[in-house]
């Protein structure tokens, strides 16, 4: 059979589209939401705020390069989950999947509402947009992206290329304007005064980090779609390094531009910082910023749908979810996984506290990062001869673990909050579900009929071959061991 006609995920993402994909998912709602949160937990101190942004960039780069080792060692969809199962065991695989099962759609719902706010607000000048039209528009956007998400990787990458070019242009415009305005004497004086604000408490620093790390998040998607990347051993590290370097420079310049034009108090009072900045600098061309922000969030949402559906695909292949979620349509896309992601995000479309939601996502994500670093260190000693095309120093993994451990521990000790209890309850419920549905393999009798019906309805079928995610150096010894066992 011709390989091109097989029903399986296609390796169609090269270096250029890989960099574009990371940029599209990283430069999303974060840069328009997080500046307010970082300022808040930095006690409006500009020096601390900019330091947090730099520190978050360094931490994100270290985390991303560490994850790149996972993606190049096991270049398959949802590589980080397969790695956790192999290093720490199936319960930890399920825990991380269970966490992302809700935090990713929650973040998508929040960004969709923010996008609806930017799109609909020009039709309600001088007042806030009504809630009902905003929700309806958010649902329409979400399901339109879901339809595009089942069309396969090639169509998505071209859409991401165009949208990333648009939003990067807008952010560069903001950054360059800020660079020009900062040389004015009055702006320099106001910016200097902001450096004399009160220093934040120690317990606030992790909260500020969660806000900044949220803006840099998205590089994990490159590891999630490792099964669709050309030459993953070479392209995954290169794409991550290039994209995060560009994002870091852009974010710092944009934040300086915000702080040059607006006071910290004005940024805190604004629900849409970029629009407030545009109203102050270029009020006649405010619509350009609106289009740029909307495009930025839109492409980030599509990238989130694409990468999160591959997590469902991986969980299904590893027996943690029903087989249905790893079945592919004629476009080589896990259609049901995409639909399930959209359904969960649709349910979560409700007015929410963005800053508190980001803290919740950051807290849960830090636990997941910590577990991954433990697994990486353990696998280094457990399987030292495992071929690793890209290998980071163990100090990177150890440093990331210490950082995530402190980010989780300091807020609990210094100022415990109710959402810490919610996260603990959520973790325990995940392990309970693992015992019932995965370990003891409880299954409803009618599920086979539902599986057949959905296969016919969505025109999906299992992949023709198992995903090839282990290099020749690993598979050959495995085959030899099988032969020797039979003999």
How do the pLDDT tens digits run along the chain, 487 residues long? 344 555 566 777 888 888 888 888 888 767 777 788 888 888 878 888 888 999 999 888 888 888 888 888 888 877 888 888 888 888 888 888 887 887 788 778 878 887 887 777 767 766 767 778 888 888 898 898 888 888 777 777 777 778 778 878 888 888 887 777 766 656 555 566 555 666 767 777 887 887 888 888 878 878 888 878 888 888 899 999 999 999 999 898 888 888 888 888 888 877 667 777 877 887 776 677 777 777 778 877 887 888 788 888 888 887 788 888 888 888 778 888 888 889 888 887 765 555 566 666 667 777 788 888 888 889 988 888 888 888 888 888 888 888 778 777 777 777 777 766 777 777 778 778 888 877 787 777 777 788 888 888 888 888 765 544 443 333 333 333 333 223 2
The model's pTM is: 0.73
pLDDT of residue 244: 92
pLDDT of residue 460: 84
The range of the structural domain enclosing residue 97 comes to 3-486
pLDDT of residue 481: 32
What CA dihedral angle connects 310, 315, 317 and 322, to 10 degrees?
A: -110
pLDDT of residue 245: 92
Number of independent structural domains in the chain: 1
For residue 377, the domain's CATH number is 1.20.1740.10
Residues 227 and 224: their CA atoms lie apart, in Å, by 8
């Amino acid at each position: 059979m011709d390989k091109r006609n097989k029903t399986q995920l296609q390796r169609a993402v090269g270096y250029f589209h890989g960099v574009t994909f990371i940029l599209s998912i990283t430069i999303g709602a974060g840069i328009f939401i997080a500046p307010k949160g970082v300022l808040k937990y930095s006690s409006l101190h500009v020096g601390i705020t900019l330091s947090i942004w730099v520190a978050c960039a360094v931490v994100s780069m270290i985390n991303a390069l560490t994850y790149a080792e996972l993606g190049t060692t096991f270049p398959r969809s949802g590589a980080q989950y397969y790695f956790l199962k192999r290093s720490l065991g199936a319960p930890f695989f399920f825990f991380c999947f269970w966490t992302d099962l809700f935090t990713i759609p929650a973040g998508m719902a929040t960004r969709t509402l923010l996008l609806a706010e930017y799109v609909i607000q020009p039709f309600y000048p001088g007042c806030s947009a009504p809630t009902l039209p905003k929700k309806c528009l958010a649902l329409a956007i979400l399901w339109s992206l879901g339809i595009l998400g089942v069309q396969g990787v090639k169509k998505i990458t071209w859409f991401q290329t165009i949208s990333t070019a648009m939003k990067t242009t807008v952010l560069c415009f903001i950054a360059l304007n800020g660079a020009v305005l900062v040389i004015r004497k009055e702006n320099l004086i106001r910016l200097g005064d902001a450096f004399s604000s009160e220093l934040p408490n120690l317990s606030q620093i992790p909260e500020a980090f969660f806000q900044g790390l949220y803006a840099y998040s998205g590089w994990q998607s490159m590891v999630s779609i490792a099964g669709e990347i050309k030459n993953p051993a070479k392209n995954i590290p290169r794409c991550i390094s290039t994209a995060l370097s560009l994002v870091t420079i852009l974010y710092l310049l944009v934040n300086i531009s915000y702080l040059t034009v607006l006071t910290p108090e004005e940024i805190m009072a604004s629900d849409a910082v970029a629009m407030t900045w545009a109203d102050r600098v270029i009020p006649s061309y405010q619509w350009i910023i609106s289009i740029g922000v909307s495009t930025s969030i839109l492409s980030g949402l599509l990238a989130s749908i694409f990468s999160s559906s591959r997590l469902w695909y991986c969980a299904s292949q590893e027996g943690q979810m029903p087989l249905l979620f790893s079945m592919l349509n004629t476009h080589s896309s896990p259609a049901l996984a995409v639909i399930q992601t959209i359904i969960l995000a649709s349910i979560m479309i409700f007015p929410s506290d963005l800053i508190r939601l980001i803290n919740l996502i950051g807290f849960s994500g830090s636990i997941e990062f910590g577990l991954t670093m433990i697994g990486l260190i353990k696998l280094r000693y457990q399987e030292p001869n495992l071929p690793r095309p890209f290998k980071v120093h163990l100090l990177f993994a150890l440093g990331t673990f210490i950082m995530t451990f402190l980010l989780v521990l300091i807020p609990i000790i210094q100022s415990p909050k109710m959402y810490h209890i919610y996260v603990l309850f959520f973790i325990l419920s995940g392990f309970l579900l693992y015992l019932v549905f995965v370990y003891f393999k409880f299954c409803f009798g009618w599920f086979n009929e539902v599986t057949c019906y959905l296969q016919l309805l969505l025109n999906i079928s299992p992949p023709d071959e198992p995903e090839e995610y282990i290099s020749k150096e690993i598979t050959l010894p495995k085959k030899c061991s099988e032969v020797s066992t039979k003999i």
